[in-house]
Structure 1
């Protein structure tokens, strides 16, 4: 009797789930991408300012470095307009932009390693950090737009908390690693180590499609999803007109002002704390970087769960008001006591509490910004909501040096308190927490 040998069945390679259909994959990819934002932020806001302060740079010079290097974060509206208008549809609305931006960030870090500017080459150092932040802002806008596109309403408070927690963790890891490496004077080694970290994490993100059936890479098989085709704009006018209409709405405009003024304490931490800690309190740049890393780690832990709990228990509006008032009050305490600081105890305590409160406030304001976004122009509209506070933070950082040198650290703390209270007034006038306004805006 003849035996029939069955041909082996062709084994189809297993596909990882698409981000739109799998919560764990969606959360994992977004968390990793936000973690990577900590690379340029940790360098620009913690490690390099502390290093420059130790090398004798003035408050004006460090403020200028931070202000210019962080300017790309205020141009996110342009990034969003481009992404809402153009995309490689077979790979999804945002994913192609994300992978391109991550690749460019790796190249920028390698370029920094090859040039290896010293502490006296502050203009060149600023140029590299500016370029690095340009790359990461494209990734940031794409990730935010993707989150608005594919994250269900019920998950948005949680995902915003995780996004900021992972970003703060990334800043902590980068600040600590860069601080350790820079203490030995090796900017080249620092940049190469960070480039390797970005590359490995980006390879993980590249494994997941945005929606089922799309291409994993440009040369693989797949096609554009129905959602991508329906939501992607094929002309400039629908995108620009939608964004303009959202800005011209009085409450939205006031909300934007409120988010801008809410960054006053973050600008103080960015540009004033390095000279206050290193030049006034006698810290080393390594210690400042380590403290910055610890601060971001603590902020990441609180941002992971506190916004969700506070919004659930007290409501978004009450939670936002409480954070604005607490930041203003503690800033007044710091301004009244800074002249009498004989050690760093109060500096560490007040800085820690103020920074964590500012991060939590930012998370809650972003929850509201995402709530009032129109999905059809989400990248542009959300980018505008993020560009305004980033521009405010950059401008306040860049102008902090002359305020310190003319009025002292106490006056600067008082200025933070006043600007924060102004932010509260604008946010309340902008309808933060008003669900009827949210429904009308979206």
Structure 2
């Protein structure tokens, strides 16, 4: 369901806007604003670590509420039915959808840190990102076909109905044994939930600030932010380059991006765990940073000689796969840095910084293209990716175990 929102905001609607004549600055502003809630995830995490309906678990009630709001927003979009020329209204609806998705995302991530053993987190992250990418691919493809004929109401009703059905299925599963399925059913808070859920703000804030005093964490956050440069490029530059420069239709781009995303979803759900197990987390992160930098350099150097869309398509596919694998690997390390007692807040901070960087870069690429062209955008991605690698190496990502994990092992 997070993938539905991303598929609309990052693939289908930007391509639709480009096909209807929107400028790079307008498309970049749409993407940057629509995705802005992902940079505010720390506030979501603070709310979840402080407040919850304990009889239903620490995170589950937040997930169900977020999905209900997502469904209502999609139905509202179907009623409003804005045209491609009403960019401000489209941006408002997509901003709201992404706000709902961030509450869903923070709750799911917090639940993963709470419940998943460390040795299973690479696999679980691969499955979670594979599922999200599958949602992006499916929604991007379906929405692209419908928006090509300006059927935005049909699209929104279809996705709203899917969210309703999926939410009903998810509501049948408890977070922990003996908790309530719904507020009106029987059950009681688990001992683990009661012990970990905070009743005051000070312990949560103290834990976050204590983490931020570490230079390694600050370096890591900077590296994570720069790692999103390729995502920002594929979000805001690739649709315009394909539609307005290479002559693709908006449905052609949506279909292509969705197919690439589908294969990336399958690979992301299976391969990262094997790669990390074979090469180690540090080497995996380093190699994928370098792949992203090289792909961007090739794009910038060859752009003036493109006689067809083949090179663009190949570079896009490499960027998509490498970005997904790199993100999964970085999140595995971020989870290892999180204390489960403040997992929602601290992990949300780890995700908020790169998402803020992604939104800022998405909005800035339009201005860079207007000033210096598409090749400059490719070269900017290469420079930012190499910077991200440098900061992650300085942060000693993948070396040793975080202090709270060492303490837990000694305790066990």
1:138 aligns with 2:103: yes
1:316 aligns with 2:272: no
Partner SS for 1:75: helix
Q: Check the 8 A contact 1:232/1:376 in 2, yes or no.
A: yes
Q: Check the 8 A contact 2:37/2:99 in 1, yes or no.
A: yes
Q: How does 1:115-264 map to 2 (within 5 A)?
A: 115-264=80-229
TM-score relative to the length of structure 1: 0.91
Which of 310, 320, 340 is the matching residue for 1:345?
310
| Structure 1: gaps spanning 5 or more residues | 1-35
1:397 maps to 362
Q: How does 1:19-38 map to 2 (within 5 A)?
A: 36-38=1-3
1:429 aligns with 2:394: yes
Q: CA deviation at 1:437?
A: 4.1
Q: Check the 8 A contact 2:336/2:402 in 1, yes or no.
A: no
**1:345-383 deviation digits (Å, cap 9, x = unpaired):** 000001101111011000000010011110000000110
Which of 235, 256, 266 is the matching residue for 1:270?
235
Moved over 3 A (4+): 436-442
1:409 aligns with 2:374: yes
Aligned length: 407
- Once residues 392 and 272 of structure 1 are traced to their aligned partners in structure 2, the CA distance between those partners, rounded to angstroms, is 15
- Once residues 143 and 341 of structure 2 are traced to their aligned partners in structure 1, the CA distance between those partners, rounded to angstroms, is 40
Which of 226, 246, 253 is the matching residue for 1:288?
253
Partner SS for 2:373: helix
- Once residues 154 and 99 of structure 1 are traced to their aligned partners in structure 2, the CA distance between those partners, rounded to angstroms, is 28
| Structure 2: gaps spanning 5 or more residues | none
1:64 maps to 29
1:365 aligns with 2:366: no
Partner SS for 1:431: coil
**1:22-51 deviation digits (Å, cap 9, x = unpaired):** xxxxxxxxxxxxxx1111100000000000
- Once residues 163 and 202 of structure 2 are traced to their aligned partners in structure 1, the CA distance between those partners, rounded to angstroms, is 36
**1:305-338 deviation digits (Å, cap 9, x = unpaired):** 2211111111000111111111111211110001
Q: How does 1:71-150 map to 2 (within 5 A)?
A: 71-150=36-115
- Once residues 406 and 221 of structure 2 are traced to their aligned partners in structure 1, the CA distance between those partners, rounded to angstroms, is 17
- C-alpha change, 1:437 and 1:220, in structure 2 (3 Å) is closer
Q: CA deviation at 1:441?
A: 9.7
- Once residues 441 and 67 of structure 1 are traced to their aligned partners in structure 2, the CA distance between those partners, rounded to angstroms, is 40
The structure with the larger Rg is: 1
**1:230-271 deviation digits (Å, cap 9, x = unpaired):** 000000011111111112210001000000000001100000
Say what the alpha-carbon RMSD is for the aligned residues: 1.0
Q: CA deviation at 1:154?
A: 2.2
- Once residues 56 and 320 of structure 1 are traced to their aligned partners in structure 2, the CA distance between those partners, rounded to angstroms, is 38
- Once residues 177 and 224 of structure 1 are traced to their aligned partners in structure 2, the CA distance between those partners, rounded to angstroms, is 41
- Once residues 358 and 380 of structure 1 are traced to their aligned partners in structure 2, the CA distance between those partners, rounded to angstroms, is 24
- C-alpha change, 1:440 and 1:248, in structure 2 (3 Å) is farther
Q: Check the 8 A contact 1:373/1:441 in 2, yes or no.
A: no
- Once residues 241 and 417 of structure 1 are traced to their aligned partners in structure 2, the CA distance between those partners, rounded to angstroms, is 37
Q: CA deviation at 1:440?
A: 6.2
- Once residues 75 and 147 of structure 2 are traced to their aligned partners in structure 1, the CA distance between those partners, rounded to angstroms, is 16
Q: Check the 8 A contact 1:372/1:441 in 2, yes or no.
A: no
Once the two structures are overlaid, the 10-residue window that deviates more, 148-157 or 395-404, is 148-157
- C-alpha change, 1:326 and 1:339, in structure 2 (3 Å) is same
**1:272-313 deviation digits (Å, cap 9, x = unpaired):** 011100000000000011011111111112211221111111
Which of 13, 20, 27 is the matching residue for 1:55?
20
- Once residues 57 and 340 of structure 1 are traced to their aligned partners in structure 2, the CA distance between those partners, rounded to angstroms, is 26
